[in-house]
Amino acid sequence: MKSPTQLKEIEDFKSAYIKKIEEVSGEYLALSSHLNQYQALAEIVMEKVATQWAKTSAQYDTIPHKRVYLFSIEFLIGRLLKSYVNSLNWEETVKIAMHELGLDYQTILDQETDPGLGNGGLGRLMACFLESAATLGLPFHGNGIHYKHGLFEQKIINGEQVEVSDNWLRNGYPFEIRKPNESVIVKFYGDIHYEKVNGALTFVYENYEPILAVPYDLPVKGYHNSTVNSLRLWSAEPLDEFDLLSFNKGQFIDAVRHKSEAEAITQILYPNDNEAGGKLLRLKQEYFFVCAGLKRIISRFKRFNQNCLDDFSEKIAIHINDTHPALCGPEMMRILMDDEGLSWNDAWKITQNSLTFTNHTVLPEALEKWPVEMMKFLIPRIYMIIEEINRQFGESLRLKAGLNELQISALSIIQDNQINMANLAIVCSHSVNGVAELHSKILKEETFNGYYKLFPERFHSVTNGVTPRRFLINCNTNLRDLITESIGTEWIKNLYDLENLMRFKNDLAFAKRFCQIKLDNKIRLSHYIKQQNQIVVNPESIFDIQVKRIHEYKRQLLNALHVLHLYNCLKANPNQEFIPRTFIFAGKAAPGYYFAKEIIKLINAIAELVNNDPAIHDRIKVVFLANFNVSLGEIIYPAANISEQISTAGKEASGTSNMKFMMNGAITLGTMDGANIEIYEAVGKENIVTFGLSSDEVTHYEKQGGYSSIEVYESNEHIQKIMHQLIDGTFGHLGNFQSIYDSLLLYNDTYFILKDFDSYLGAQKRINSIFQDKTKWFNMALHNVAYSGRFSSDRAVLDYQKKIWKTI
């Protein structure tokens, strides 16, 4: 029964909506397009959010609470309309109103583009942190780049990845506000020389190229509260022609050239994940959003702080998310000295006390290094400051820490004529952390050991987390309702409360509903698969899923080779008892990463072979879903039985899809890597399936130059068979996979795929036997949901507040 207030709310909503449709489309509702229907809803929702936004900003201005600014080159925010509606507690009203107006709510929601302003884990983590901080009511804002084109859209054509440019802004974007009056100028190139002014030697910076940085603000709304924080994304624009002429006395042609060069800076997100590119434009992006963001933060702070910067670091924390914003160190020094007139020492204190740094990967190819020449050329003043930071740091190591020259050069920010950005970030910050226990331990003992020995107190660990609002509550509404009916609503804001679900471990009615929900989610995914890939899958089969960026260290290849092996077994022994499986893959490969693209090709070739072989009788199905993004994840996570987390131990810093799957009741099949180890601790060894070398064992082999993959090959006939199939024409016109064969046998299998193969096979067999025992399986799945509390990003953000930013 609806209350009178609810009825009125629905009626008010409907009339506002009908009017809004006319405003956005110039048509009556009956004639409006789905896109117009979406735009109208988005505008109404945005108006409501904006009211709370203004209020939150005003409150922050009066209450002097320490603010956190998160600097990140990626924020993978996902679609926002449903999130806003649900966080406004408006879900029911909107759903009923839409229904009564004869509209399909889901179709309307599907009109929204999914902003791909990030590559994967790192960017999505930042979006989860923003959502959690707003839900916790904390003053916490993001600072990043307004890419015109986000991560490419992936199509699969003839089994291969084809990249299509993304255009998330094509229909306009209703959830951002452009703030031209808060624009700032960012300066590139130019010359620096010293001049004597009134007897004192000062430097002059001239002939630089000014670029206008224009902010777009997006509201970040807390769940069921009135906090709305901001995500500020900077867009590069030319100074208007008039200003430009007065700047460089240029001609018209120059002005046009300047326009496209300026816009180029924020045209596109670099599509590499875990690999540093070394391109000038990328360095420009990094400096661009750091400079613009810091300038605004500092000027705002002065405005509300009687023009005084003394207690800046007590009131502001600036977080460097991976090394991409590491220029925060020297840029802050530049602003404080050159613009604000502080001495080096005063500026340094403020800078170091404000900055904190998180590392997200230990892969050597991902650690950013920029050529000195490039830095000097593009941002000469910043280079000067980096040199001076490095000189003083070296000096302090020499004098205070008593290090010799060899030790000092190992810690130097400038090495082999390159700027080591991680070293820069560490030296300029007072805190460094990894993103899971094992990862932080590797940082301390290996990657940054030299710094750890010097400053052990600076090193911390904060395990990642994901927001349960997006990855459970909004995407698995049936499970949400079951949980709420069983244990109340407290868990939504305190995920540890899910432990109360263990009360239902012997409750048959609960178990039945729990399992039915999983089945329904699998049916929903099956429809999607049918529609996208024209493959019919069996929702009763085990849904075994690996979705993440395609990368050698994540070992999609291990998964794929196992599928090929199962196929061989079934072909050899067609009448064996076999528990049906659906293997689902999704993920993008960096466009220039040849080997990752070969892996996609192989998965699709295996799919073609297996899905169409009548001897298999549909007992194995292989599906590669194109264009993995946040929206697709929201359909996939709730439908999984098995969460594949099979990286080579020591390589995956944390992983976050492991947490999303877990919350939705999937069982982790994983190596002892990243946060898998903590999932193991949370659920207990009975409720996870692990396999493979440990990180110590991997390191042990690596120190000896690797293991011998040929030996493993020679002693294992299953492996011999699948290896031959890669090159013997098994895949016919779909191609031979010589490069994969070579990487495993000729180049000694850097990621230990063959070494871990048997152990993986054993783990998969254990899964089969558990799956047959429905009660046991339910129990394991329940444990996973119930103990996922510590993997909420609420917990992660609170840990940062306590340990890193010291805000509570």
418: β partners = 371, 415
Residue 366 binds ligand 26M, judged by CB under 6 A: yes
Token pair for residue 607?
């799919």
**Structure-token match 């909107």, residue found:** 94
In angstroms, rounded to a whole number, what is the distance separating the alpha carbons of residues 521 and 517?
Answer: 6
Look up 582 and say whether it is catalytic: no
Task: Considering the candidates 149, 258, 319, 554, report the single residue annotated as catalytic.
Answer: 554
Look up 750 and say whether it is catalytic: no
- 546: closest CA among 451, 442, 661? 661
CA atoms within 13 A on the CB side of 515: 18
In angstroms, rounded to a whole number, what is the distance separating the alpha carbons of residues 121 and 109?
Answer: 24
Nearer to ligand 26M, 125 or 712 (CB): 125
In angstroms, rounded to a whole number, what is the distance separating the alpha carbons of residues 266 and 163?
Answer: 19
Q: Which of 119, 351, 447, 793 binds ligand 26M (CB under 6 A)?
A: 119
Q: Which stretch binds ligand 26M (CB under 6 A): 42-50, 450-458, 510-518, 646-654?
A: 646-654
Residue 633 binds ligand 26M, judged by CB under 6 A: no
Residue 435 binds ligand 26M, judged by CB under 6 A: yes
Residue 183 binds ligand 26M, judged by CB under 6 A: no
In angstroms, rounded to a whole number, what is the distance separating the alpha carbons of residues 685 and 281?
Answer: 48
In angstroms, rounded to a whole number, what is the distance separating the alpha carbons of residues 645 and 553?
Answer: 11
Token pair for residue 134?
């707003």
Coil vs helix vs strand at 772: helix
Q: Which of 276, 498, 561, 649 binds ligand 26M (CB under 6 A)?
A: 276
Q: Which stretch binds ligand 26M (CB under 6 A): 23-31, 211-219, 360-368, 692-700?
A: 360-368
Task: Considering the candidates 651, 660, 755, 790, report the single residue annotated as catalytic.
Answer: 660
Of residues 282-321, those binding ligand 26M (CB under 6 A): 282
Residue 789 binds ligand 26M, judged by CB under 6 A: no
**Structure-token match 């024209």, residue found:** 534
In angstroms, rounded to a whole number, what is the distance separating the alpha carbons of residues 519 and 538?
Answer: 10
In angstroms, rounded to a whole number, what is the distance separating the alpha carbons of residues 288 and 511?
Answer: 53
Q: Which stretch binds ligand 26M (CB under 6 A): 116-124, 300-308, 343-351, 471-479?
A: 116-124
Least distance CB 186 / ligand 26M (angstroms): 19
Binding mask 124-163 for ligand 26M (x = CB under 6 A): -x--------------------------------------
215: β partners = 234
Look up 62 and say whether it is catalytic: no
Give the number of other Cβ atoms within 10 Å of residue 434's Cβ: 28
Nearer to ligand 26M, 465 or 638 (CB): 465
Residue 593 binds ligand 26M, judged by CB under 6 A: no
Look up 20 and say whether it is catalytic: no
Of residues 233-272, those binding ligand 26M (CB under 6 A): 270, 272
Residue 709 binds ligand 26M, judged by CB under 6 A: no
Binding mask 437-466 for ligand 26M (x = CB under 6 A): ---------------------------x--
Least distance CB 743 / ligand 26M (angstroms): 21
Q: Which of 115, 116, 120, 692 binds ligand 26M (CB under 6 A)?
A: 120
Q: Which of 122, 586, 726, 744 binds ligand 26M (CB under 6 A)?
A: 122
Q: Which of 83, 423, 654, 788 binds ligand 26M (CB under 6 A)?
A: 654
Residue 360 binds ligand 26M, judged by CB under 6 A: yes
Task: Considering the candidates 67, 319, 360, 469, report the single residue annotated as catalytic.
Answer: 360
Ranked by CB distance to ligand 26M, the top (closest) residue is 121
Q: Which stretch binds ligand 26M (CB under 6 A): 239-247, 254-262, 274-282, 557-565?
A: 274-282
Kindly give, in sequence order, each residue whose CB lies less than 8 Å from that of residue 624, ignoring residues fewer than 6 positions away. 156, 533, 585, 586, 600, 603, 604, 607
- Residue type, position 759, single letter: S
Task: Considering the candidates 146, 324, 549, 621, report the single residue annotated as catalytic.
Answer: 549
Least distance CB 281 / ligand 26M (angstroms): 10
Element (H, E) at 522: helix 508-533
Element (H, E) at 597: helix 594-611
Residue 121 binds ligand 26M, judged by CB under 6 A: yes
Q: Judge whether 221 and 132 are in contact, CB under 8 Å.
A: no
In angstroms, rounded to a whole number, what is the distance separating the alpha carbons of residues 135 and 474?
Answer: 15
Alpha carbon of residue 345 to chain centroid: 36
Q: Which stretch binds ligand 26M (CB under 6 A): 96-104, 440-448, 647-655, 716-724?
A: 647-655
Token pair for residue 183?
């624009």
Q: According to DSSP H, which parts of 355-420 are helical?
A: 372-378, 380-399, 405-411
* Residue 155 DSSP class: E
Look up 360 and say whether it is catalytic: yes
Q: Which of 37, 86, 135, 274 binds ligand 26M (CB under 6 A)?
A: 274
In angstroms, rounded to a whole number, what is the distance separating the alpha carbons of residues 256 and 731?
Answer: 52
Nearer to ligand 26M, 9 or 273 (CB): 273
Token pair for residue 101?
């107006």
Nearer to ligand 26M, 46 or 646 (CB): 646
Look up 660 and say whether it is catalytic: yes
Q: At what angle do helices 4-25 and 91-100 cross, to 10 degrees?
A: 70
- Binding stretches for ligand 26M (CB under 6 A): 119-122, 125, 270, 272-277, 282, 360-361, 366, 435, 464, 652-656, 674
Active site residues: 360, 548-549, 554, 656, 660
